[in-house]
Amino acid sequence: MIPSSAPSRLILASSSPYRRELLERLRLPFDVMVPDIIETALPGEAPEATALRLAREKAAAVAQRAPGSIVIGSDQVATLDGEQIGKPGDHARALAQLQKMRGRKVVFHTALCVWDGRASALTGPAQLENIQTVVTFRDLPDAELDAYLRIDQPYDCAGSAKNEGLGITILERIDSSDPTALTGLPMIALTAMLRKAGVRFFGL
């Protein structure tokens, strides 16, 4: 562990407003830097492996630009029957996603990486963890799904639903060890990693 007195800069390696809002809950000063990486799965890559690799690549890319910092990277991959479900991008694709998922269970892999740029070569800079969330979607008619999408417009969300918004009304059940993982940043896992890196909370 790095001594808590060591100066450090905390950086969120993400363009996501949802992750930024979650990190703000910790009341720690942090900066935001957008990583420049290609966010696609490799041929034959398992969903969990994709999420972990991209979380690590995001953190590493920003760490190169900000040496000596603590960088947080995260990535989420949603799957139905083992098939990856990406961000829909528009209304038609989002509706098709919800129609396919209604009445079914979707697995969300939310990977987290905390990259400590102060760590020694012996301990290594990266802490990695994947949090799995199983979401059961309600079996709703097309009219309700269409109405929801037009109100919430979750076109930048894998799975086409904002659980922190009106999307909670189209979900039947959420099973996870970390309630914030589905929104994109597993806060229970993150605070454990930050503590391991020597970050203190509550001003102590």
- The residues that are catalytic are 75
74 near 110, Cβ under 8 Å?
Answer: yes
Please check whether residue 126 is in contact with residue 52, taking contact to mean a CB–CB distance below 8 angstroms. no
Rounded CA separation 63/32 (Å): 12
CB atoms within 10 A of CB 201: 11
Place of tokens 């102060």: 118
What Å distances lie between residue 139 and 106, 109, 131, 144, 188, CA to CA? 13, 23, 25, 10, 31
Q: How, if at all, do strands 10-13 and 31-33 pair?
A: parallel
Alpha helices in the chain (DSSP H): 17-23, 47-65, 91-101, 142-152, 187-196
